[in-house]
Amino acid sequence: MKTTLEIPNELFRAAKSKAALDGRKLKDLVAEGLSLVLQTPTPQAAQHRARFLLIRSKESRVLTAKRVDSALEAESQEEAKQIAKSLRR
């Protein structure tokens, strides 16, 4: 399949040089590189999972997305206050 890609000039020159030194076509080098990237598991997949600290309490509460968002917003606001306070000094 033919396609058009925008590649930074420096990367393109390096890839073209590598292909020439190896006696290969640029398209073969690019295809091999894409294959390697697609076969390699990425640690980013693990980053998509949210981790929550579980705390037992007397009051039984259900953890919902709304409660998580609310807690994160409160934490962000507290951090913003701390930064503003430190800048005033």
pLDDT digit string, tens, across residues 19-65: 999 999 999 999 999 999 888 877 665 555 666 666 666 666 677 77
Find the DSSP H helices in 1-89: 9-21, 26-39, 44-47, 65-88
Residues whose CB is less than 8 angstroms from the CB of residue 16 and which lie 6 or more positions away in sequence, other chains included: 26
Amino acid at residue number 60: S
Give the predicted TM-score (pTM) of the model. 0.46
Residue-range definition of the domain harbouring residue 13: 9-41
Whether 83 and 56 map to the same domain: the answer is yes
- What is the dihedral sign for C-alpha 47, 43, 41, 16? positive
How many distinct structural domains can be found in the chain? Answer: 2
Q: Is residue 1 part of a domain?
A: no
In a domain, 29, yes or no: yes
Shared domain for 76 and 54, answered yes or no, is: yes
In a domain, 2, yes or no: no
Instruction: Examine residue 80 and state whether it is found in any structural domain, yes or no.
Output: yes
Q: What is the pLDDT of residue 43?
A: 66
54 and 84 inside one domain: yes
